[in-house]
Amino acid sequence: MRIVADENIPSVEQAFASLGEVSLVHGRSLQPAHVRDADILLVRSVTRVDERLLADSSVQFVGSATIGFDHVDLDYLLQREIGFARAPGSNATSAAEYVLSAIMVLSERLGFDPADKTVGIIGHGNVGSRVRARFEALGMRCQVNDPPLQAQGGHDDFVSLADVLQADIITVHVPYTRTGRWPTHHLVNADMLAQLRPDAIVLNTSRGAVADNQAMEAWLAVRSSAAAVLDVWEGEPSISLSLMDRVALATPHIAGYSLDGKLRGTDMIYHAACEFFGKSACWQVADALPVSPALVIDSRNDRLSAVREAVLATYDIRADDAALRAIKQLDKGAQAARFDQLRKEYPVRREFSEIELVLETGDPELRRMLDALGFKLSAVTLTA
């Protein structure tokens, strides 16, 4: 079989080699000519998969190494009897850890204790539920709004959007939709922003167009005590530099970019393809994962400082923020290419569960917090 794959899907050649010959392409540049003779097409969210791309192709199976599917015309695939698989939840842990890193940075920068803050979580799926678990481990009070999930029943603790908007921190984790009962296109808009507290913190790690970027910029221009964290942008890879100047932390759509999460996505679509074609799976994720060193954490002072040290030693969002802001030094024509390059050449980042922490003290409450955040705690405790 001939397999055409986005070059930014990690280990895709190694994983799919047992199924056929793999040809790598640039996802944003993928054209009908690339897939005309292909049996399998493997993409990310930057590629629109529809009739225009597939009409004259021999593609039998499409795999998207992403949690979302708004870039795929599912009706067309069903009509053509083309198999489809994606990777729901593959990068959920990574995205939740991104949000936690952002709050650790902002709590230090703005001088607040996260335990004193309330959090409004819009969307309680794979990512939102993980964010909630981590924030509650820090003693933060979480309020959740997810009308589609609530409509399924069994979620009595969910609240209205109006209630969520009164929280100190608002974090958005919804799929991108333009139709249906609860569309999310420009869910974060001028009307919503006007209802927030003057010093609210807003985070968007879902899709760029879930937030009206012009409205966000206008809101930040008049709310000097407010703050925003944006990982996703309207118009990617050509993003608004004026909006970037106003947000507290800006990153190039990499919230879910831990190596573990990305390889999990590859693994999910690989196994789905094997099942579709009736083949045995040969490749294992463990084959592509490096061993992570242990980290010694100074836990002799307050717990928040120890938690912040552990989080930022594992993943420090400030490095990604600095890398994105550096695109301002480039010519306008090179900025979009650099945005994509930052994603393609993203450094190895591991999830908390792959990092062994060695603590300076045996504080049981600190150990409980770090365990709830997902860290692997060493049985060894160092003493002064």
Are both 103 and 177 inside the same structural domain? Answer: yes
Beta bridge pairs of residue 84: 62
Containing H/E element for 46? Answer: none
Are both 99 and 241 inside the same structural domain? Answer: yes
Residues 6 or more apart whose CB falls under 8 angstroms from that of 242 comprise 217
User: Of 250, 273, 304, which residue sits at a domain end?
Assistant: 250
Residues 6 or more apart whose CB falls under 8 angstroms from that of 234 comprise 208, 209, 211, 212, 213, 240
Which mean pLDDT values do the consecutive 10-residue runs of the chain (384 residues) have?
Answer: 96 96 96 97 96 97 93 97 96 97 98 98 97 97 97 90 97 95 97 98 98 98 97 97 98 97 96 97 90 86 93 97 98 96 95 93 91 90 66
Are both 118 and 134 inside the same structural domain? Answer: yes
Among candidate residues 130, 186, 207, 223, the one labeled active-site is 207
Are both 174 and 41 inside the same structural domain? Answer: no
Q: What is the pLDDT of residues 194-252, one digit of tens each?
A: 999 999 999 999 999 999 999 999 999 999 999 999 999 999 999 999 999 999 999 99
185 is catalytic: no
Are both 115 and 200 inside the same structural domain? Answer: yes
CATH number at residue 13: 3.40.50.720
Among candidate residues 44, 124, 134, 236, the one labeled active-site is 236
Q: For the chain, what is the domain count?
A: 3
Q: How far is CA 171 from CA 2, 111, 362, in A?
A: 41, 19, 33
Are both 84 and 122 inside the same structural domain? Answer: no
Are both 14 and 125 inside the same structural domain? Answer: no
Phi, psi of 219 (to 5 degrees): -65, -45
230 close to 304: Cβ distance less than 8 angstroms: no
97 is catalytic: no
For 262-303, give the DSSP string. HHHHHHHHHHHHHHHHT------GGGGPPPPPPEEE--SS-H
- The pLDDT score that the predictor gives to residue 383 is 63
Are both 107 and 246 inside the same structural domain? Answer: yes
Among candidate residues 124, 253, 308, 343, the one labeled active-site is 253
Give SS3 for 5: strand
Are both 74 and 223 inside the same structural domain? Answer: no
Are both 161 and 124 inside the same structural domain? Answer: yes
236 is catalytic: yes
Are both 136 and 45 inside the same structural domain? Answer: no
- Domain of 17, in residue numbers: 2-90+258-288
Are both 151 and 209 inside the same structural domain? Answer: yes
CATH number at residue 316: 3.30.1370.170
- The pLDDT score that the predictor gives to residue 384 is 53
What pTM, to 2 d.p., does this model score? 0.91
